[in-house]
Amino acid sequence: MRNGIQQGPFSPEAVRSFLNEGALSPSDLGRADDSSEWVALERLQLPDYRPLGPPRKSGLAITSLVLGIVGLPTVFPAIVAVVLGHLALAKIRRSAGALEGKGIAVSGLVIGYVGLVLMPFLIFAGFVAGHGAITNAKKVKAGLSATQIESAVDKFVTEYGVMPSMTPVTDTSKDASLAKTLVGHDRVQNTRGIKFLSMPASPSGKNGIEPATFRILDPWGRGYRVFLDTGSTGQVIVIRGAITEPLRGRQVAVYSLGPDGVAGTTDDVITW
């Protein structure tokens, strides 16, 4: 009732809207359906009643937008952004004009969903990058070890004037005689027991010398191929799968099969 004129009936939501729009004031009278008493509207139990004033920005909407932006590279904030965005939209709809920020809530929802959609691709890209970094690190280790073996053979020849082995090709995972000679364990060839080769022990079966067997293994658990110029021809003939390479001016060449374990492919780790 306003100015003695009875209007309505109106739903509580409609009354709440009229109050916020200024069509009614808190001092106007009204009564509930189950009551005959007329009281000031501010005393009625209306949904989300607040004093008249400009609409407030929805805190949930703002939080949704912030978390949506933050959640682009991560999962959890993006999920929370989506949930809060839906809650904000629902609350804005029920506020009858007291809350605004629908656009902000929608933006938070969209960005949150974009983050969730992109996440599998980001995870996959991270996995690929991480796997590539690990593979490259192993290739570097294999290259260093292969170079160490080659250098040890050169030093042996300089010291003794002969090859440490008369076997033209050695797979260090199957034949440990070359390794035993180069580390000074076998004194048949290395009569003075000089340690030409120093590599870390490999109790795990990868990247080093196995203490018990003297097998030299690369980071993938396979042997190195060592080619020697046992005939003093001034060159080493290297065979990698279907590839045959004469390396002139060398007396030793070493390579690892690399990550794929196949000879003659682009990921072979070579010393020449």
In a domain, 175, yes or no: yes
H/E stretch holding 40 = strand 39-40
Our CA dihedral for 179, 182, 188, 191, rounded to 10 degrees, sits at: -160
Between CA 179 and CA 129 the distance in angstroms is 35
In the predicted structure, residue 17 carries a pLDDT above the cut 50: yes
In a domain, 255, yes or no: yes
In the predicted structure, residue 70 carries a pLDDT above the cut 90: no
Band the pLDDT of 49: cuts 50, 70, 90.
very low
Can you give the residue range of the structural domain that contains 166?
138-270
In a domain, 260, yes or no: yes
- What pTM was computed for the model? 0.58
Q: Which residues fall within 8 angstroms of residue 225, CB to CB, at 6 or more apart?
A: 169, 170, 171, 172, 240, 254, 255, 256, 257, 263
pLDDT (mean) for 113-131? 78
In a domain, 227, yes or no: yes
In a domain, 143, yes or no: yes
CATH number of the structural domain spanning residue 253: 3.30.700
Tens-place pLDDT, residues 133-175:
889 999 999 999 999 999 999 999 999 999 999 999 999 999 9
Sole residue written with tokens 């170079």: 147
Between CA 213 and CA 223 the distance in angstroms is 13
Q: How many domains does the chain have?
A: 1
In a domain, 12, yes or no: no
Sole residue written with tokens 């203490």: 211
Between CA 130 and CA 136 the distance in angstroms is 10
